[in-house]
């Protein structure tokens, strides 16, 4: 299966702060999972250093998406932390990591990726410009719905699950990462 991935999940750092359209303060190398995330590194080069994204990195490796996510992009990745994977029903991650479930794993991972380089200020603007809700196609082919809850950006998946962006705008050489607190699930 060939995937022209345009953004996936990995890591991010910069607290959302005031997201009511205000600019987010940039850092040279924000910290995510205890590691600096230099903007000169690509998504994979940074993700492998984040202690908060070891499950995501293992899943990306199992799905053979390392080369794609190391490519030129640009990708916008919504990167679930380890605790988000731990919150899935018991055995879910182990089952997805089995070689025979590679296509399903790839679908879940690419559901966390949007083509392009979408920063938080742009996302908030698109939400506001579209009456409080913005829908975007994922690389997987499904759709994510973005909204605001106060200053927090919320992402609703195809199953009705809702993730919150906890760290925004971690620039990468091939896109941007936003850390999220829940694994997003496409429709079956």
Residue among 4, 75, 5, 81 nearest 50 (CA): 81
CATH class of the domain comprising 31-180:
mainly beta
18: left (phi over 0), alpha (psi -120 to 50) or beta: beta
Angle formed by the axes of helices 54-62 and 102-110, to 10°? 130
Q: Which pLDDT value is given to residue 9?
A: 30
Torsion angle (degrees, nearest 10) of CA 129, 13, 110, 184: -70
Q: Rounded to two decimals, what is the model's pTM?
A: 0.83
How do the pLDDT tens digits run along the chain, 188 residues long? 222 222 223 222 222 222 333 333 344 678 787 788 888 888 888 888 889 999 999 999 999 999 998 899 899 999 999 999 999 999 999 999 999 999 999 999 999 999 999 999 999 999 999 999 999 999 999 999 999 999 999 999 999 999 999 999 999 999 999 999 999 999 97
Could you give the 3-state DSSP secondary structure of residue 108?
Answer: helix
Q: Which pLDDT value is given to residue 14?
A: 24
Residue among 29, 6, 25, 3 nearest 16 (CA): 25
CA distance linking residue 11 with residue 178, whole number of Å: 7
CA distance linking residue 63 with residue 36, whole number of Å: 25
Tell me the pairing of strands 31-32 and 175-180: unpaired
CA distance linking residue 4 with residue 90, whole number of Å: 31
**Domain boundaries along the sequence of the chain:** 31-180
């Amino acid at each position: 299966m060939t995937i022209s991935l345009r953004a996936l999940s990995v890591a991010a750092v910069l607290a959302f702060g005031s997201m009511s359209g205000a600019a987010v303060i940039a850092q040279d190398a924000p910290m995510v999972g205890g590691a600096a995330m230099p903007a000169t590194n690509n998504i994979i080069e940074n993700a492998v250093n984040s202690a908060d994204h070891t499950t995501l990195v293992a899943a990306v490796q199992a799905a053979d998406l390392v080369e794609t996510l190391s490519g030129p992009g640009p990708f916008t990745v919504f990167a679930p932390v380890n605790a988000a994977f731990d919150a899935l029903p018991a055995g879910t991650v182990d089952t997805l990591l089995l070689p025979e479930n590679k296509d399903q794993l790839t679908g879940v991972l690419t559901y966390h990726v949007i083509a392009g380089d979408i920063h938080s200020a742009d996302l908030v603007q698109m939400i506001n410009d579209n009456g409080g809700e913005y829908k975007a196609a994922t690389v997987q082919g499904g759709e994510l719905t973005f909204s605001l809850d106060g200053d927090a950006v919320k992402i609703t998946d195809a199953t009705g699950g809702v993730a919150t962006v906890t760290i925004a705008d971690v620039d990468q050489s091939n896109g941007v990462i936003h850390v999220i607190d829940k694994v997003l699930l496409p429709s079956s």
